[in-house]
Amino acid sequence: EEAEKIKESKKVSKEEAEKIKDDLERVSMGIPPSRDPKRFPDDPDEIDKYLNQIPLFAKVRPRKEDQGDAWKMIEAIEAGQDPKEKAKNCKQNGNDCYKAGKRRWNDALTFYQQALDCECGDLRLESQVYSNRALIHHHRQNYGRAIDDCKEALKLNHKNSKAYCRAGQASEALGKPKEAMKWYEHALKWAKDDFLKRNYVANLIKKLEISMEKKKESERVKAMKKDADRKFADLLAESIKLRKIRTTVDTLSGDHKPMLDKNGCLHWPVVFMYPEFYVTDFVQDMHELRSFKEQLGQMFPPKGTQPQWDKKKHYTIKNIAVYVEVENGGKPHSVREINMEDPLAEALIQKGVVVGGVPTFMILSKASDYMQHFKSTHTVV
Write the pLDDT tens digit of every residue in 242-286: 999 999 988 988 889 999 999 999 999 999 999 999 999 999 999
The answer to whether 103 and 86 have CB atoms below 8 angstroms apart is: no
Report the pLDDT value the prediction gives residue 350, as an integer from 0 to 100.
94
Q: Which residues pair with 291 in a beta bridge?
A: 343
Residue type at 212 in one-letter notation: M
User: If you write DSSP's letter for every residue of 185-204 in order, what string do you get?
Assistant: HHHHHHHTT-HHHHHHHHHH
SS3 324: strand
- Return the half-sphere exposure (C-beta side, CA atoms, 13 A cut-off) of residue 248: 9
**pLDDT (tens digit, 9 = 90+) per residue, 146-161?**
999 999 999 999 999 9
Q: Looking at per-residue confidence, does 55 or 186 come out higher?
A: 186
**3-state helix vs strand vs coil in the chain, percent to 5:** 55, 10, 35
CA distance 280 to 367: 19
b/e map 91-128, b = 16+ CB within 10 Å: bebbbebbeeeeebbebbbbbbebbbebebebeebbbb
DSSP summary character for residue 32? P
Q: Note the pLDDT of residue 378.
A: 95
Q: What is the pLDDT of residue 92?
A: 94
Average pLDDT, the chain: 87
Beta carbons of 317 and 296 less than 8 angstroms apart: yes
Report the alpha-carbon distance of residue 187 to residue 207 in Å, rounded.
15
Pairing of strands 266-274, 259-260: antiparallel
User: Residue 297 above 90 pLDDT?
Assistant: yes
Name the more confident of 26 and 373: 373
Bridge partners, 380 (sequence order): 335
